[in-house]
């Protein structure tokens, strides 16, 4: 029964959390955005005291249920381990905890967190690691499927689906996601929760707390016949049946052992309760509930032909060269993230904001000092005035919630005009597209030749008004490099 | 009453044929003498007659010209092995063979059409037929401001190239292409045809019999139209834009067809009609307009009406249609096999429809592609066509309080991204204004782009 509850809850959490990364329309976030916000490290970084206390209490009362039902990476490992278990049952065995490694990783993690070495924090944080896998590996499949539906919808003149661009937003992040995926999958396939109990810093912290938890799985020595079945179903390898001992720092309260025990010798009971046999019914519920997991894995493994959106270049149309990312001396981060320092200290590179950005602006950085943390660029769109999606979804408080009004008065950077790229100069044509589309009215058109008021007009930026949204950069006809581009601000300014 | 009942029966039978296919048809054959009448009616509905085409006689040469003329500016394209788009020659051959087999004999092309490929493919398809089975019309398309093209040598080279590409040694109809264009219509006309002696050259070619009919096509500046008719040159025909909207309410710099047609008739110059559908806009009507027409003729499409309108005036020699699809060709052949002239009631109905069209905010683009390619990659005709289509379908919501605002907004925005890639949309128009002189409808393209983009922005912001 307990195992069934665990599996159903975990399934719901896992499915919805994954969908948060897949849903590019941002509608799910309104309802389930909190699921990302109750993740351990994001809550700490966002200084979300209520959630931190809740998670600590949860662990002190029920043990590491967080790792079993809330952490998406944990559930992901269970799913893989379950598939592996189909091939070979009863494959686990007890092993000693590798404490030196666990604590060493935790120490490194804490040092990195304090010193602001974001790469290490990002790589080790389990929620963010899963986020990257979901947004880099699962999202393209999901979008491919969506585009297939959009293609069909178009044939039927329906507007139920619309097609989205699928592109690799950062090679390094993509590669790291693949490596993480492979490492986690191999470890989970072979030994269940190895990662959670030897590397994961969140697992180590919670494991420390769960040793003191009220509810624990306990042996009833009188009925146990030392068959060792519990040991062989324990994916955390934490049950030592010979000594009738369980390493509670590693137990994730998955309840597998309780279901497996034929003598009902294992009970999940509070510490102070006298240990007496409680009759339970329905021994075989586990097998039925397993099918639920099949559904999850099947959904994940479902492949579809990815229909990359190839823009149809009609021969009667001029070829449009792709834009190149300009070299910015200061990178740009979204409104709400206040300063580069605040942002890099709080972001764990979970990619949630990257997944929801409807304008294709946010992408993970390739810069080693802030690897995988998002940054902005305007080749495919600009930061539209009506959108504050990234600030709504960020669980870490790296991008703080911002209203549309505040956003339109936040300067995240300012535009810079480069004369020798401007089509007014190079093609000798009238343009002014940057000024025409500037939502802040920060670009004036002035005569190129100040003595001749009839000469062609060139743009001049009013940096006091410019908010750095990138409309000018995106809509500039100069290719591959725009003649007007945005330089970020170290600290955002409010006007 | 009797009449109504018959019609009703007939429609039911018609549906039956569609439902049960061949079986129903054979069953009807078996009906004997009583079934005979029905059988014939059904035959008329589903098949395209080969011998009922209406012909008009050219008073100058006695040519019997089919009322439906084939405009060769919208040939179907396909992508070849190298990834380039080219005209689908097989499809063109099929269309032309079908057209000729069903009585169409007038083919109108230009060296500029379909990215310059039209004459060649049209020539290939037509040369497979006896030369006396078809009339060829092509044009002196020296309107772009290229000094070589406008020189005597350049223009004559274009003339000879047309002969070569079309594989003919005489033209049945030859036109001065798009007179009335340019900032100063008269000056542009003189520059293109008089100063370089091209008109004299063409008149000599007519004398020599290599041009059987000499004429011109007109857009824009009415002074040039009047000037040509008064110039003393004997014109064998002229091409004008004529449809029920342009008759009295021509948009932009276009002139009312009523005047143009009247003048041509007065000068005994037969009229060739272009844009009978206003680039397809008259084939897609909104619900209200459609119901007006369907009330009168439930089985006819808006295109039927537009073609009947364009073909009704007696001095119209032929009505051109740029047919890309076999279905359009078939439908138009049916409309003119034979032509059923509009009656007074039907004229009234079309006036009503015109009123409705004028009240809405259409961009008068006919998708002729003359403005393309835009050097900055904008897909001008597709943007206008999307906008116009949404207007027709009622998907251009004006106010977020509108009943169907959300639905229409979604349809407009998603449809926009589907019909035009993001980088080719209106917001990328830089207002360089290079396209303006190319537009025969004289649309201020950048201004319209701005209007559409402002509208899109408003939709996006008021999500």
Chain A contact residues (CB < 8 Å to B): 154, 159, 162-163, 311-312, 314-320, 380-381, 384-386, 423, 427, 429-433, 436-437, 475, 477
Residue B393 at interface with chain A, using a CB cutoff of 8 Å:
no
Interface probe, candidates A477, A479, A482, A484, chain B, greatest B C-beta count within 10 A: A477
Q: Which of A366, A372, A376 is nearest to A349 (CA)?
A: A372
Per-residue pLDDT of chain A (495 residues; tens, 9 = 90+): 788 889 999 999 999 999 888 888 777 888 888 888 889 888 888 888 888 899 999 999 999 999 999 999 999 999 999 898 888 888 888 888 888 898 999 999 988 888 878 888 888 999 999 999 999 999 889 889 988 988 888 888 788 888 888 888 888 889 999 999 999 999 999 888 989 999 999 999 999 898 888 888 888 878 888 888 888 889 898 888 888 888 888 999 888 888 888 888 888 888 764 444 443 333 343 334 334 333 333 333 332 222 222 222 233 778 888 888 999 989 999 999 989 989 988 898 889 999 889 889 999 998 888 888 999 999 999 999 889 999 999 988 899 999 988 998 899 999 999 999 999 998 888 999 999 999 988 898 888 888 888 888 999 888 888 999 999 999 999 989 999 999 999 899 888
3 state SS of A300: helix
pTM for the model: 0.68
d(CA A278, CA A270): 13
Q: Which of B363, B370, B368 is nearest to B426 (CA)?
A: B363
Tokens of B290: 């459609």
Tokens of B416: 């926009």
In B, residues 402-461, which contact A (CB 8 Å cutoff)?
410-411, 414-415, 417-418, 421-424, 427-434, 450, 460-461
d(CA B351, CA B245): 8
**Domain residue spans in chain B?**
2-46, 55-357, 380-461
Are A320 and B379 a contacting pair at CB < 8 A?
no
Are B431 and A386 a contacting pair at CB < 8 A?
no
Interface probe, candidates B376, B383, B389, chain A, greatest A C-beta count within 10 A: B376
What are the chain A neighbours of B432 within 8 Å (beta carbons)? 423, 427, 429-431
Nearest by CB to B430, from A314, A380, A431: name it. Answer: A431
d(CA A274, CA A268): 12
Nearest by CB to B461, from A154, A315, A386: name it. Answer: A386
What are the chain A neighbours of B379 within 8 Å (beta carbons)? 314, 317
Residues in chain B: 463
Q: Is a pLDDT exceeding 50 seen at residue B25?
A: no
At residue A288, the pLDDT reads 40
- Chain B's closest residue to A439, CA to CA, is B457
Phi–psi pair at B374, nearest 5 degrees: -70, 130
Residue pair A275/A218 in contact by the 8 Å Cβ criterion: yes
Which of A298-302, B145-149, B156-160: highest mean pLDDT? B156-160
Residues in chain A: 495
3 state SS of A245: strand
Neighbours of A33 (CB within 10 A): 17
Q: Look at A304-313, B196-205, B245-254 and tell me which has the smallest mean pLDDT.
A: A304-313
Are B377 and A159 a contacting pair at CB < 8 A?
no
3 state SS of A374: strand
pLDDT in tens, B295-320: 899 888 999 999 999 999 999 999 99
Cα distance from N-terminal residue to C-terminal residue, chain B: 53
Question: Min CA distance, B429 vs chain A (Å)?
Answer: 7
Residues 6+ apart with CB under 8 A from A335: A383, A388, A391, A402, A406, A407, A410, A412, A467, A492
In B, residues 157-216, which contact A (CB 8 Å cutoff)?
none
Domains contained in chain A, CATH given: 2-301 (no CATH), 340-494 (3.30.70.20)
Question: Min CA distance, B412 vs chain A (Å)?
Answer: 9
Q: Which of B103, B105, B188 is nearest to B143 (CA)?
A: B188
Residue pair A380/A346 in contact by the 8 Å Cβ criterion: no
At residue B252, the pLDDT reads 66
What are the chain B neighbours of A26 within 8 Å (beta carbons)? none
Which of A83-87, B39-43, B256-260: highest mean pLDDT? B256-260
Nearest by CB to A162, from B417, B431, B461: name it. Answer: B417
A84 forms beta bridges with none
Tokens of A271: 């510490």
d(CA B451, CA B213): 43
Size of interface A-B (CB pairs under 8 A): 75
Residues 6+ apart with CB under 8 A from B396: B361, B387, B390, B408, B412, B455
Alpha carbon A91 to its chain centroid, in Å, reads 32
Beta-strand pair A239-240/A245-246: antiparallel
**HSE value, Cβ hemisphere, 13 Å, CA-based, for A51:** 19
Residue B84 at interface with chain A, using a CB cutoff of 8 Å:
yes
| Mean pLDDT calculated for residue range B106-121 | 92
Helix (H), strand (E), coil (C) string for B349-372: HHHHHHHHHHHCCCCCCCCCCCCC
What are the chain A neighbours of B411 within 8 Å (beta carbons)? 159
The pLDDT mean for chain B works out to 86
Report the CATH number of the B55-357 domain.
Answer: 3.20.20.100
Q: Is a pLDDT exceeding 60 seen at residue B28?
A: no
Are A430 and B377 a contacting pair at CB < 8 A?
no
Interface probe, candidates A152, A310, A385, A429, chain B, greatest B C-beta count within 10 A: A429
Q: Is a pLDDT exceeding 90 seen at residue B412?
A: no
d(CA A231, CA A228): 5
Residue pair A483/A421 in contact by the 8 Å Cβ criterion: yes
d(CA B202, CA B47): 43
Q: To the nearest whole percent, how much of chain B has pLDDT over 70?
A: 89
Residues 6+ apart with CB under 8 A from B198: B140, B142, B152, B155, B156, B192
Interface probe, candidates A30, A433, A437, chain B, greatest B C-beta count within 10 A: A433
Is the bond leading into B338 cis (omega within 30 degrees of zero)? Answer: yes
What are the chain A neighbours of B383 within 8 Å (beta carbons)? none
- Chain A's closest residue to B87, CA to CA, is A315
d(CA A86, CA A193): 17
d(CA A250, CA B253): 82
In sequence order, which ranges of A219-356 are alpha helices (DSSP H)?
Answer: 229-233, 256-260, 285-301, 340-346, 352-356
Are A320 and B377 a contacting pair at CB < 8 A?
yes
**HSE value, Cβ hemisphere, 13 Å, CA-based, for A36:** 30
Report how many helices (DSSP H) and strands (DSSP E) chain B contains, helices first: 20, 12
Q: Is a pLDDT exceeding 80 seen at residue B21?
A: no
Tokens of A334: 């979204």
d(CA A92, CA A94): 7
Are B421 and A162 a contacting pair at CB < 8 A?
no
pLDDT in tens, A289-348: 334 333 333 333 332 222 222 222 233 778 888 888 999 989 999 999 989 989 988 898
């Amino acid at each position: 029964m307990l195992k069934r509850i665990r599996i159903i809850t975990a399934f719901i959490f896992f499915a919805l959390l994954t969908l948060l990364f897949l849903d590019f329309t941002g509608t799910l976030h309104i309802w389930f955005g909190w699921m990302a916000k109750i993740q351990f490290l994001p809550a700490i970084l966002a200084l979300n005291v209520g959630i931190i206390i809740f998670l600590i209490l949860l662990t002190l009362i029920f043990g590491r249920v967080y790792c079993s039902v809330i952490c998406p990476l944990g559930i992901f490992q269970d799913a893989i381990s379950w598939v592996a278990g189909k091939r070979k049952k009863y494959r686990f065995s007890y092993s000693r905890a590798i404490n030196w490694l666990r604590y060493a990783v935790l120490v490194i993690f804490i040092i990195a967190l304090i010193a602001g070495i974001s790469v290490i924090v990002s790589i080790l944080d389990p929620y963010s690691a899963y986020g990257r896998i979901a947004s880099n590996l699962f999202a393209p499949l999901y979008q491919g499927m969506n585009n297939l539906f959009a293609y069909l919808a178009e044939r039927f003149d329906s507007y139920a689906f619309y097609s989205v661009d699928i592109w690799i937003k950062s090679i390094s992040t993509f590669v790291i996601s693949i490596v993480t995926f492979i490492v986690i999958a191999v470890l989970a396939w072979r030994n269940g929760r190895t990662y959670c109990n030897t590397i994961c810093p969140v697992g180590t912290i919670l494991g420390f707390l769960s040793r003191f938890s009220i509810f624990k799985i306990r042996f009833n020595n009188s009925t146990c016949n030392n068959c060792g079945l519990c040991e062989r179903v324990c994916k955390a390898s934490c049950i030592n049946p010979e000594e009738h001992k369980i390493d509670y720092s590693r137990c994730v309260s998955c309840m597998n052992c309780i279901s497996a025990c034929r003598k009902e010798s294992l009970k999940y009971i509070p510490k102070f309760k006298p240990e007496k046999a409680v009759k339970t019914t329905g021994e075989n519920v586990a097998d039925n509930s397993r099918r639920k997991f099949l559904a999850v894995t099947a959904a994940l493994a479902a492949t579809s032909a990815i229909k990359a959106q190839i823009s149809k270049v009609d021969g009667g149309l001029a070829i449009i060269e792709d834009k190149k990312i300009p070299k910015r001396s200061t990178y740009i981060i979204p409104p709400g993230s206040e300063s580069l320092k605040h942002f890099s200290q709080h972001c764990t590179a979970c990619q949630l904001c990257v997944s929801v950005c409807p304008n294709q602006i946010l992408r993970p950085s390739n810069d080693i000092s802030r690897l995988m943390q998002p940054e902005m660029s305007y080749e495919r769109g600009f930061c539209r005035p009506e959108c504050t999606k990234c600030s709504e979804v960020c669980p870490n408080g790296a991008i703080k919630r911002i209203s549309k009004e505040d956003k339109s008065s936040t300067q995240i950077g300012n535009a810079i005009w480069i004369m020798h790229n401007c089509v007014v100069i190079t093609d000798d044509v009238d343009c002014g597209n940057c000024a025409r589309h500037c939502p802040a009215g920060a670009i004036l058109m002035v005569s190129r030749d100040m003595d001749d008021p009839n000469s062609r007009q060139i743009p001049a930026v009013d940096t006091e008004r410019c908010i750095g949204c990138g409309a000018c950069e995106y809509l500039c006809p100069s290719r591959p490099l725009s003649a007007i581009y945005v330089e970020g601000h170290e600290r955002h300014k409010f006007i | 009453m009797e009449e109504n009942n018959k019609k009703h029966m007939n429609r039911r039978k018609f549906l039956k044929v569609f439902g049960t296919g061949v079986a129903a048809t054979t069953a009807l054959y078996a009906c004997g003498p009583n079934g005979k009448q029905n059988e014939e009616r059904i035959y008329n509905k589903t098949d395209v007659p080969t011998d009922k085409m209406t012909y008009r006689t050219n008073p100058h040469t006695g040519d019997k010209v089919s009322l439906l003329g084939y405009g060769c500016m919208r040939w179907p394209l396909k992508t070849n092995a190298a990834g380039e788009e080219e005209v689908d020659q097989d499809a063109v051959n099929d269309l032309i063979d079908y057209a000729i087999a069903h009585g169409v004999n007038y083919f109108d092309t230009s060296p500029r059409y379909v990215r310059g490929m039209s004459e060649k493919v049209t020539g290939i398809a037509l040369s497979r037929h006896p030369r006396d089975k078809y009339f060829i019309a092509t044009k002196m398309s020296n309107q772009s401001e290229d000094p070589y093209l406008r020189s005597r040598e350049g223009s004559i080279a274009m003339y000879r190239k047309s002969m070569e590409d079309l594989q003919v040694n005489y033209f049945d109809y030859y036109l001065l292409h798009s007179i009335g264009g340019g900032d100063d219509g008269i000056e542009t006309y003189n520059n293109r045809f008089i100063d370089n002696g091209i008109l004299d050259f063409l008149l000599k070619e007519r004398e020599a019999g290599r041009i059987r009919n000499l004429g011109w096509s007109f857009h824009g500046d009415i002074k040039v139209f009047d000037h040509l008719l008064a110039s003393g040159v004997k014109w064998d025909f002229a091409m004008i834009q004529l449809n029920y909207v342009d008759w009295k309410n021509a948009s932009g710099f276009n002139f009312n067809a009523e005047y143009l047609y009247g003048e041509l008739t007065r000068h005994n110059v037969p009229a060739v009609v272009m844009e009978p559908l206003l680039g397809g806009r008259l084939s897609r009507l909104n619900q209200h307009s459609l119901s007006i027409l369907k009330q009168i003729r439930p089985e006819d499409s808006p295109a039927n009406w537009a073609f009947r309108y364009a073909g009704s005036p007696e001095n119209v020699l032929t009505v051109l249609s740029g047919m890309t699809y076999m279905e359009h060709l078939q439908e138009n052949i049916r409309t003119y096999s034979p032509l059923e002239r509009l009656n007074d009631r039907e004229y009234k109905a079309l006036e009503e429809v015109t009123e409705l069209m004028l009240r809405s905010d259409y961009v008068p683009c006919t998708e002729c592609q003359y403005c393309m390619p835009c050097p900055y990659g904008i897909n001008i005709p597709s943007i206008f066509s999307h906008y116009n289509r949404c207007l027709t379908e009622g998907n251009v919501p004006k106010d977020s309080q509108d009943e169907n605002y959300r639905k229409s907004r979604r349809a407009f925005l998603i449809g926009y991204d589907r019909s035009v890639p993001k980088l080719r949309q209106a917001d990328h128009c830089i207002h360089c204004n290079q396209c303006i002189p190319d537009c025969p409808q004289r649309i201020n393209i950048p201004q319209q782009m701005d209007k559409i983009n402002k509208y899109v922005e408003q939709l996006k912001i008021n999500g």
